[in-house]
A = this chain, B = another copy of it.
Amino acid sequence: MRADVHRFSIADPSDVSGLKAAIDSGAIDASQIVAVIGKTHGNGLVNDYTRGYLTLCLSILIGERTGRSPEAVREKIPFVFSGGVEGVLSPHYTVFTVAPDGAAAGGEPALAIGVAFTAPMRPSDIGRQAQIDAIAASVTAAIAEAAIEEVHFVQVKGPAFTLADILEDQRSGRPPATDNPGKLMSFGRAACALGVAKALGEVPADKAVEAAVLKDFSLYSSVASMSAGVEVDCNEVIVVGMSRAWSGPLAIEHTTMTDALDVASIHAMVQRLGFSPAPQMEAGRVRAAFIKCEAQRDGLIRGRPHTMLNDGDINEQRHIRGAVGAIAASILNDTGLFVSGGAEHQGPDGGGMIAVIADRPDA
């Protein structure tokens, strides 16, 4: 198999002109699309409807080009959109395609992608062991099916719920982890991350870790990137890594930022991808990048206070996305980055995960 990624800027959340042109020109075979990940214009919080809007528009387009209904498209292809392009960040989406490759595999490792879905979930399932286990099983299945040897990035998009949904489930006798919609998104991201960690052996696979959800932040996955949104009701799982069973010119690397200013880790990672040790990469080399970040919980960064957790006007996630996104953009020389807040159990407190796909230096 051979994986490819195609990134398109969007003028607004209904702008699918980029993919449309690529399909119509033959650059992309619509039937080979396996996943779409992107950043939209909204606030990235509960009342962000730009994620669903772009999902609808893309699923209509792909449906038209593949002869399927939009619903059928959405059941097969994960659309993972995170809202919030604060500061220098740029709204965009990245299309992952997988094609059969006539070339003999078995040479150098190349980019490899696996996809899986869990069953639909209710508000009361979110943040529980059931969600952790379902994610772990899906990640394991996706890795096996795609023969991925080195996992560098696992994106999960889990369901979020409005207050009305939560209260309805609660009235039916199923108590949620919390009845605060934003907080429940946090529970969901945490459980998904621990599910990834369980699948990859980053936390013990044989014991329940539900008790650690949003409590023991020493447990985390170093490759997990979790999102949650009201527009899905199951968990969509995308695993990206390297495999000698795949071919193609792309590679992926990842690292853990220990805090928001940890640029040393980013520089070391891009050098593993073959880039020279300059303060800023030459333009045009990044094919896609995925970043998780979060405001440090003690209210400090390297000893000085930050104000993100006390701000009643701008949500903490919008603050930290704008900051860490700008730092990454300044190094990668690229603003079309997937930067997502809410990094619970997706890296150490105050830090987060960054994964970059680029052309292989030897390719």
Spell out A's residues near B (CB within 8 Å): 9, 11-14, 41-50, 52-53, 56-57, 85-92, 162-164, 167, 181-182, 230, 260-261, 263-264, 267, 277, 279-280, 283, 298-299, 301-302, 304-315, 318-320, 322-327, 329-331, 333-336
Contact = CB atoms under 8 A, between A and B. Distances in A.
Nearest to A314: B314
Count of this chain's copies in the oligomeric assembly: 4
A325 B283 CA distance: 22
A322 B86 contact: yes
7 contacts: A12-B230, A13-B53, A47-B312, A87-B319, A88-B323, A181-B309, A264-B280
Closest 5 CB pairs between A and B? A45-B312, A87-B323, A323-B326, A90-B304, A322-B322
A304 B333 CA distance: 11
Given A87-B320, A306-B335, 18 more contacts: A9-B304, A13-B52, A41-B47, A43-B312, A49-B49, A49-B50, A86-B323, A88-B320, A88-B323, A91-B307, A260-B326, A261-B333, A261-B335, A263-B330, A263-B331, A302-B335, A304-B334, A323-B326
A304 B335 contact: yes
Contacts of A167: 298-299
B314 A318 contact: yes
Contacts of A322: 86-87, 319, 322-323, 326
A305 B91 contact: yes
Most chain B beta-carbon neighbours within 10 Å: one of A264, A324, A326, A333: A326
Contact of A312 (B164, B182, B325, B335): B182
A11 B162 contact: yes
Contacts of A327: 326-327, 330
Contacts of A325: 323
Contacts of A312: 43-48, 182, 315
A253 B301 CA distance: 26
Contacts of A88: 260-261, 301, 306, 320, 323
A314 B45 CA distance: 12
B14 A56 contact: yes
Contacts of A309: 163, 181
B261 A310 contact: no
Most chain B beta-carbon neighbours within 10 Å: one of A44, A52, A277, A307: A307
Contacts of A263: 279-280, 330-331
B299 A283 contact: no
A299 B41 contact: no
Nearest to A266: B279
A301 B90 CA distance: 9
A181 B11 CA distance: 14
Contacts of A261: 88, 280, 329-330, 333, 335
A296 B334 CA distance: 16
A18 to B, nearest CB: 12
Nearest to A14: B52
Contacts of A310: 46-47, 162-163, 181
